[in-house]
Structure 1
Amino acid sequence: MSSTDSTPARGAEHRTVSRVMAILEVIIASEPEGLRLGELSDAIGAPKSSIHGYARGLVTTGYLREHEGRYLQGPAVSTLLAIGGQQVPVGYHHALEQLSKACDETAILSILVGNSAIIVDLVEPTQTIRASPPMHQRNPLWPVSYGKCFLAFMEPRRRDAYLRRITDDPAERDRIAEELVTVHDTRIGYNRGERNPDLFGVASPILLQGKEVTMAIGLAGPAARMDAQLDRISKSVLDAAERLSTAGVRE
């Protein structure tokens, strides 16, 4: 293919990148109110039909979030900054330190990013054999413990769409939905070796008033050791989540 033949394709790619970046910049500048689709279209100077597709893709990947018809900055933007060295609030890290010390297991802070969960901070225990999950990587929401917390408090249509993507079996979707009701009511999600038979996970959502659930705190460790003290661990995780929920975000 000649350079002349490839120029239109490269131009289209550049326009796509430019438009996506323009959407992100305009939305971030509009915080905390965000923008409706029509307002975003006017700000970018592009048709709503074109902007809508890009915006939906950015919501799915977590770079934007949609709330009551308005587009706002999504948690994936903060995750990129965290990878670059920005730390989570001190209060959250201190809670992880306390939780890890109390149970001598790995304490984890996870956030919801699109249809994935990302660990943004953790504190490891003194134990030689311990869970050491990677940070700043996308994990599936199901069946990890903190992912179950996000699903349990997720808007029903979004949750149902996610479940349809991960399984074609209606009976399995019903079983998962039933478990998520329990997670919602108890505010505790368990991963009893469902992803790795040697590891257990326990998590609880951080509930900030008036906001969707996008953070969870929990513990992970060897299955046999966690199972032997599961009741105590569950209470410690739930107490930590409740304290953070009451305190809110602190720098």
Structure 2
Amino acid sequence: MPGRAKDSYNIRSVENALHLLEALADEESGCSLAQLSQRLDMTKASLFRMMATFENHGYVQRGSSTGEYELGLSAFEVSQKLLSKMSLLRKAKPAMAQLVRRCNETAYLVIQRDNEALFLEMLDSAQKVKVIPLTNQRFPLQQCAAGKIILAFNEAYAPRTTDHPELLAEISRCRKQGYCIDNNGVGEGSTCMAVPLFKSDKILAGCLTLIAPSFRTDESRINRELLPALKATGEMISAQLGYNVYAPRSIP
């Protein structure tokens, strides 16, 4: 409804759950149910139900000796994923900007979310004709070049992904050549080129992708201009993430 205050959309139970997590995050050690009840002005019964739900999902755990509540590993994992995403964005954007200036085509930073490729960040080109924006859109991994790169270099995931021999052959080819190119994967008349980005632990951090209308991406331009620039930029970002290109990395 127009003009309606944001606060009016708040759900009280969700607010209480967030306050509970914030209270636990503020504690250096654990906290008892009675302490939380007094601090948050909530009944022990309500807190107990919330705690049980959080505990079932790993966001809260109880100390083995004290029985007091503290944040669990799931909360830590979520925070680490956020920090990793922020670090990746911060380090990738300057190099992406150089790539866009050099090629005058749109660049994307892509990460994996479950069985999909999430187009996280876009730096647009100055071209008048371009592929529609894809920021925050998701595509099945097997559908687009970035997704196939994820399948090729996510070592714990790829071998169990598909039984389709043609896709397995393409994934193997992407792994060997270090890049992937496909047409129409993210939209009719589009060409998508993707390279992997690696972290210091030699684990895939995401993908760098160039996307352009197919009429501007003939084989000559791809091989002469776009692909060399994309690969060089991907290597630059990986180096900034701490990846040593000369270090051994096991590939299935």
1:201 is aligned to 192
Q: Partner of 2:93: helix, strand, or coil?
A: helix
Q: Distance in 2 between matches of 1:140 and 1:76?
A: 24
Q: Partner of 2:166: helix, strand, or coil?
A: helix
Q: Partner of 1:73: helix, strand, or coil?
A: helix
Q: Distance in 1 between matches of 2:178 and 2:211?
A: 17
Equivalent residues in 2 for 1:76-95, closer than 5 Å:
77-78=81-82, 89-95=89-95
1:241 is aligned to 234
Equivalent residues in 2 for 1:52-91, closer than 5 Å:
73=77, 77-78=81-82, 89-91=89-91
TM-score, normalised with respect to structure 1: 0.63
**Deviation by residue 1:46-79 (Cα, 9 ceiling, x = unmatched):** xxxxxxxxx9xxxxxxx89xxxxxxx72699529
1:210 is aligned to 201
Q: How much has 1:221 moved relative to structure 2?
A: 1.0
More helix by share: 1
Q: Distance in 1 between matches of 2:222 and 2:148?
A: 17
| 20 and 137 in structure 1: CA distance in 2 versus 1, 3 angstrom threshold | farther
1:104 is aligned to 104
TM-score, normalised with respect to structure 2: 0.62
1:230 is aligned to 222
Instruction: Give the number of aligned pairs.
Output: 190
Highest RCO, 1 vs 2 (Cα 8 Å, sep ≥ 6): 1
1:34 is aligned to none
1:159 is aligned to 158
1:68 is aligned to none
Q: Distance in 1 between matches of 2:111 and 2:77?
A: 14
Q: Provide the identity percentage.
A: 18
1:7 is aligned to none
1:182 is aligned to 173
Q: Distance in 2 between matches of 1:220 and 1:226?
A: 9
Answer yes or no: is the 8 Å Cα contact 2:110–2:120 preserved in 1.
Answer: yes
Q: Distance in 1 between matches of 2:179 and 2:165?
A: 19
Q: How much has 1:19 moved relative to structure 2?
A: 3.5
Answer yes or no: is the 8 Å Cα contact 2:195–2:230 preserved in 1.
Answer: yes
| 117 and 105 in structure 1: CA distance in 2 versus 1, 3 angstrom threshold | same
The runs of 5 or more residues in structure 2 that have no matched partner are 1-48, 68-72, 243-252
The Cα RMSD (Å) is 3.6
Q: How much has 1:89 moved relative to structure 2?
A: 3.8
Q: Which amino acid counterpart does residue 244 of structure 1 have in structure 2?
A: I
1:140 is aligned to 140
